[in-house]
Amino acid sequence: MKPPKPPTPQKIPTIKPQPTSPIPPPTPPINPKTPTHLNPIKPSIPPSKTQKNLTPKFSHIHPLQPLQPWQTLNISPSELSLPLTFPTGQTFTWKQTSPFQFTGPINSHLISLKHDINGCDQSSPFSYLIHHSPNPLQAKASLYDFLNLTISLNDLFKSFSESDSRFAQLAPHLAGARVLRQDPIECLFQFLCSSNNNIGRITKMVGFLSSLGEFLGTVGDFDFYEFPSLERLSMVSEAQLREAGFGYRAKYIVGAVKALQSKPGGGAEWLSSLRGLELHEVVDALCTLPGVGPKVAACIALFSLDQHHAIPVDTHVWQIATRYITPELAGARLTPALCSRVAEAFVGKYGKYAGWAQTVLFIGELPSQKALLPSHLCSIKETKTKSTRKRKLGKLEVSIQFLSDSS
């Protein structure tokens, strides 16, 4: 039994600009001589081992005065599942703030979404609460945009199920798994943190970056910040990031900020302007940024740049593909060339919104979700060491087979 935690464990006093005024460019508040003073990551996550899964019992009691009461969202559960959308690796800034509630920043709004499973109208069980907003009238529009609600998940699922019987089997268990439409800057820096990394540490790193932004409020045990602008991000040094535990990704962050700031019209505008381009142009442009390769580029493209058929090919997707879509690649290793093969195969199978299908299938592969699926739909994940060994041994053979296949 432990006493209630202090509400603001995460703090970067040397970095945080004045809360109310815009950042004064001539006098950046960072003292580069004292990077060791910076130690925000550790306190951000309590040291106990069992903290993560336990949702606070009274997290609905928060110190913020809500601007307005809860308001209904006109969305059905088949169009949105909170647990299949927020904690599944497309955003790391939203947190579960009670059993059926998630909270996160959308630009400078801080919003909670709640699924009321006891409500009278189960066709429209969601409501939202604006904790903080410079313009509450605009918050709803921002929320709808963020949730990508102009796209009908029902229609997509229907279409995917027609193209793929396995998807049809999976679909009922993964209804409401939605692709968000995030801010491109926020999305970029989140996925810069993701390379060769695990969810827990990515979350900590993103928490660090976030805390460079304007403080928005506290909900449950979590502090929320507006994701920092490039200008604010530029105030943190590589040394500070390394000190904070970013490892080699520290130079990616610093480098990407610089590269973006050198773009005509400013990096944020440059990034957003990619929304109108073709996927290959978007990916090429993103890959010019340090730390952005094909995988990260696809994530940014899909999760923030309206590239609905971008396919981030990671190890999970690779597993799915070799099992169900391109079995001829089974046993081969994940190389860039094969990644694009897999991506093409996904688009061939699911079409224009293949990225959404990929997201659903990816979620189905997550250990947390697998537990909820009927066993016959679960892929057999035997002892890892064995399959890895086999894969390595069979690599040459399979590559040859693949080459002869495609010629």
Partner DNA sequence: CGGTAACCTGGGAT
Partner DNA sequence: AATCCCAGGTTAC
Q: Is 295 in the site for DNA (CB under 7 A)?
A: yes
Nearest Cα to Cα of residue 102 among 73, 123, 78: 73
Question: Looking at 316, 323, 349, 370, which residue binds DNA (CB under 7 A)?
Answer: 316
Q: Tokens at residue 57, please?
A: 């019992």
Work out whether 198 is an interface residue with DNA (CB under 7 A): yes
Active site residue 392: no
Is 245 or 266 the residue whose CB approaches DNA more closely?
A: 245
- Radius of gyration, CA atoms only, the chain: 22
196 binds DNA (CB under 7 A): yes
331 binds DNA (CB under 7 A): no
Which range touches DNA (CB under 7 A), out of 2-10, 21-29, 224-232, 382-390? 382-390
Distances 86 to 19, 20, 113, 128, 246 between C-alpha atoms, Å: 28, 30, 10, 15, 23
Shortest Cβ 77–DNA spacing (Å) = 21
Residues between 350 and 369 that touch DNA (CB under 7 A): 358-359, 362
Query: Quick check: 317 binds DNA (CB under 7 A)?
Result: yes
Q: Does 40 bind DNA (CB under 7 A)?
A: no
CA proximity to 268, closest of 217, 234, 240: 234
Single residue of 37, 158, 280, 333 touching DNA by CB under 7 A: 333
Nearer to DNA, 133 or 237 (CB): 237
CB 185 within 8 Å of CB 227? yes
Residue 321: CB minimum distance to DNA, A: 12
Taking CA atoms, 371 is separated from 85, 323, 367, 375, in Å, by: 17, 19, 7, 8
Can you say how many angstroms the Cα of residue 238 is from the centroid of all Cα atoms in its chain?
23
Task: Determine the size of the site formed for DNA (CB under 7 A).
Answer: 45
Q: Which two tokens stand for residue 71?
A: 């308001």
Backbone φ and ψ of 17, nearest 5°? -75, 175
Going 32 to 46 to 208 to 109, the CA torsion angle's sign is negative
Binding to DNA, residues 114-173 (CB under 7 A):
none
- Is residue 90 a contact residue for DNA (CB under 7 A)? yes
Beta-carbon contacts of 362 under 8 Å, excluding residues fewer than 6 positions away, are 88, 89, 314, 316, 317, 320
Of 117, 123, 248, 280, the one binding DNA by CB under 7 A: 248
3-state secondary structure of 224: strand
Q: What angle do CA 320, 284, 301 make, to 5 degrees?
A: 50
Question: Does 56 interact with DNA (rule: CB under 7 A)?
Answer: no
Sign of CA dihedral 72, 78, 80, 83: positive
Least spacing, CB of residue 108 vs DNA, in Å: 25
Q: How far is the CB of 4 from DNA (least distance, A)?
A: 23
Helix and strand element counts for the chain (H, E): 18, 7
Nearer to DNA, 57 or 384 (CB): 384
Closer CB to DNA, 17 or 355, in the complex:
355
Q: Please identify which of the residues 16, 49, 295, 370 carries the catalytic annotation.
A: 295
Q: Tell me the window of 25-33, 122-130, 214-222, 295-303 that interacts with DNA (CB under 7 A).
A: 295-303
Catalytically active residues are 295
Q: Which residues bind to DNA, rule: CB under 7 A?
A: 49, 88-90, 194-201, 242, 245, 247-249, 251, 287, 289-297, 299, 312, 314-317, 333, 335, 337, 358-359, 362, 383-385, 388, 399
